[in-house]
Amino acid sequence: MNTEFVGALEELSVDVGIPLDDLLRTVESALASAYKRAFDVAGDVRVRLDPASAGIEVERHLHHQDGSETVEKLPVESFRRLAAQTAREAVLHHIRDLERDKVLRDVAGRRGERVTGLVDRLYGAVAYVELGRVEGVMPPEEQIPGERLTPGRLVTVVILEPRRNARSAQVTVSRASRTLVQRLLEAEVPEIAAGTVEVKAIAREPGLRTKVAVVSRQPGIDAVGACVGPKGVRHQALLTELGGEHVDIVPWSEDAPAYVTGALGPARVDHVTLDAPSRTATVFVPREHLSLAIGKDGQNARLAAKLTGWRIDIKPADDGE
């Protein structure tokens, strides 16, 4: 160890805002581990650096069954060259850890944010997305089923949770989340961004179908029309980003029968009766619209129930008569 290295530590402490004592403790801990490995020393090895003299001392602390402790000074001459290299590596590693932790703290405040990045690689069923200072990790359950992700493809995702990795800052990202649909609508529909149209609820089965309930907060604005856009351009942009996943935009209403009726579109509904205690909506539809109201494998009815919060029981209208 030399005075130049200690001086460099002092400068580094100022540049990166890390207290000198913290850097010294990091270096001392790394040196102690390196000494034990290099000389196969048993016991508790401790290293002390003296910033004033740039000196280095190595001690072995042995603890006995009677509770006493023996301290033995260990030779350092043959360790000096290794010590300098180990100290440099320890400081660099410490700085990388601090930078990673800072990025993770920043990312933690961006949960639910929409970001765009390039698919970097695929490892098994997991996709890794390059997002600048942080790497996005998209596990299978956060991908759109059936969507083909290839390296180099530009994808839009939402940030979920920071992930701690030994080498880099990572964050879990998603294309299957309902939040992605919300963020895409905010980007495509100025009325939503301005707050004159509000997204009240989203029910989604990724890759298949999504239902979005919207309401106007300003007289004269058609919430559904605003989301569809002139000649359907906004709705089409949403479908394109989601890979063709069908998206129904329906009007939200405080009137439960009206809300359920809209949520079951495009099927035609004759009338709805409610049982509040069981929160069940019995919906009567023309017999020729029965399969449309239920949907393939019950999907339309299932999504309408998720969207409205009502259990939906669909019957042909002539049964109601």
Map 94-144 to HEC letters.
Answer: HHHHHHHHHHHHHHHCCCCCEEEEEEEEEECCEEEEECCCCEEEECHHHCC
pLDDT at 102 over 80: no
Do residues 235 and 274 both lie within one domain?
no
The pLDDT-based confidence of 40 (bands split at 50, 70, 90) is: confident
Tell me, yes or no, whether 149 and 227 share the same domain. no
Q: What is the mean pLDDT of residues 41-67?
A: 84
Residues 6+ apart with CB under 8 A from 144: 175, 176, 206, 207, 242, 243, 245
Distances (CA, A) of 271 to 157, 205, 293, 321: 40, 27, 13, 11
- If asked whether residues 141 and 99 sit together in one domain, one would say no
Average pLDDT over residues 260-268: 93
CATH code of residue 126: 2.40.50.140
Task: Please identify, among 88, 108, 128, the residue that sits at the C-terminal boundary of a domain.
Answer: 108
Give the full edge-to-edge strand order of the sheet including 55-63. Answer: 44-50, 55-63, 69-74
CA-wise closest residue to 21 among 45, 46, 48, 3: 48
13 & 98 share domain: yes
Does residue 66 have a pLDDT over 60? yes
Structural domain count, the chain: 4
| Domain span at 53 | 3-108
pLDDT score of 278 more than 90? yes
Domain boundary at 77, 108, 139, which? 108
| Residue 33, domain CATH | 3.30.1480.10
Return the higher-pLDDT residue of 293 and 88.
293
Mean pLDDT of the 37-65 span: 84
> Is there a single domain that holds both residue 311 and residue 230?
no
Tell me how long the chain is.
321
CATH code where residue 265 lies: 3.30.300.20
Q: How far is CA 190 from CA 11, 110, 232, in A?
A: 50, 22, 14
Tell me what the mean pLDDT of segment 238-259 comes to.
93
Mean pLDDT, rounded, of the chain: 87
